[in-house]
Structure 1
């Protein structure tokens, strides 16, 4: 049976302010310049609770209709029943929802789209699912803005000799077999980039790193615990050293002496 990656609404809410700080506004404004006149339809893949919509809608012209694609109806319900975002001119956006996985996505599912977006999605898809998404986007021929794709690079300050081993184990966990699905993990963004180029599309990228420790300390704590837990699940041989490593990093976090740079890439593609 295939494993669907569970994401809690609480985690999405905690990370939303850092996501907003990290995303490339330069690429968002470049996407806005490639929209045609009149009403704008944005299809957001893996929309979750709608954080991409809340961040991007004020940067785009309207009137806007957002079509939120996600398999998790509870998360999508939070988006629909929350505060309604407004477009660049202050008009409230309209929202539609579509529930289902992305494995069978095709151009028909995106019919009428002016822009396709996704945020923090590629690493939890398989390479086949990424190919399906890119084929569908190329099939409708509208701009695509993919934000916050992990690259696998993490830098903690202060450094520790175990950082590299934990980072490598985490990246391997990101590329694990999830049931019958082998996740793309950090290689997902490079695959999407290559597929757009092979289709003859233009591609621009920009860094969108998380800078953890500068703002909400809870995000650094929860990110680190999840990062380490996944690494130790992947490599049992790290578990003994991982106990002292966790204690050290937790002590540094409690006294405000720990920070982390989690590298992401944003990508804009257009025909």
Structure 2
């Protein structure tokens, strides 16, 4: 699974960091402190779908240090960018790998498996297989910024609900992992981990987009319009009208898009 450009990841990073729940992120850092041991003087975070290293940057901002970052992504260009940005400041192991082949993911020795904006793209089969591997090692899980299906816009447009329903339907398409869970991913991931005996905490982490996020919001609007343009009962005129209205109000409007962060600690 791949397909995210460096430019899009750059656009969304400040909104991601602002949205990321700091209470759970702090608990991640506390867990890392407790997880240090004589056999592994540097704590290991395996970051799945790591992209250019946004999770690395977010946790480093919040105080993470002496971490071995094992960045895993299918897109070699994104990993190269992560190394370009951080290769001299951080201990990085980069792995170009297909995340869907869960039995080959480099999880050995990990203290935490992290992922940001990944599990809403995933299927039940992928999560089941990954959690089975994680549980075998009793490794903690930190999954941030999972879309929950809610979006509100100001000012409102008569087609907002219809567009959102179509977009949420599109989120269930196969994104490379099998039929995606989309907005249901956090509930499913929580259930599977609790069934394995993990203590799971979830907190909301919504995007709050305003004028300062104009470039990102414009890109987001265009992406939503493209996703719902065919196969979901909307006419071309409806999609064009909604897109034009939304782009007109990017600088003076507001958008809230719901996400959840999850932290699961082994019992």
- Both structures adopt the same fold (TM-score exceeding 0.5): yes
Equivalent in the alignment of 2:45: 42
Residue equivalent to 1:261: 256
1:124 corresponds to which residue?
A: 121
CA separation of 1:107 and 1:136: change in aligned 2, threshold 3 A = farther
1:189 matched to 2:192: no
Deviation at 1:189, TM superposition (A): 1.7
Q: Distance in 2 between matches of 1:93 and 1:236?
A: 49
Contact 1:131 1:195 in 2 (8 A): yes
Taking structure 1 as reference, are residues 21 and 127 closer, same or farther at Cα in structure 2, changes over 3 Å only? same
| Number of residues of Structure 1 aligned to a counterpart in Structure 2 | 260
Among candidates 234, 246, 261, match of residue 249 of structure 1: 246
Q: In structure 2, do the counterparts of structure 1 residues 61 and 161 end up closer, same or farther at CA, with 3 Å as the change threshold?
A: closer
2: CA distance, partners of 1:5 / 1:190: 24
For residues 229-244 of structure 1, the aligned pairs below 5 Å read: 229-244=226-241
How far the C-alpha of 1:21 sits from its partner, in A, is 0.8
Q: What SS is found at the alignment partner of 2:139?
A: coil
CA-CA distance at 1:169 after TM superposition: 0.4
The change in CA–CA distance for 1:71 and 1:108 in structure 2 (over 3 A counts) is closer
RMSD: 1.9
Change (3 A) 1:219 1:94: same
Normalising by structure 1, report the TM-score: 0.89
Show the counterpart of 1:133.
130
Show the 5 A alignment for 1:47-62.
47-62=50-65
State the secondary structure of the residue aligned to 1:154.
strand
1:10-63 CA-to-partner distances (Å, cap 9, x unmatched) read 100111111111111110111222222342111000001101111113435542
Runs of 4+ in 1 over 4 A off after TM superposition: none
CA distance in 2, matches of 1:179, 1:77: 22
| Structure 2: gaps (5+ residues) | none
Counterpart Cα distance in 1 of 2:18 and 2:83: 23
Residue 10 of structure 1 corresponds to 7
Which of 14, 20, 30 in structure 1 is aligned with 2:27?
30
Structure 1, unmatched stretches of 5+, are: 86-91
Please report the TM-score for the alignment, with normalisation by the length of structure 2.
Answer: 0.91
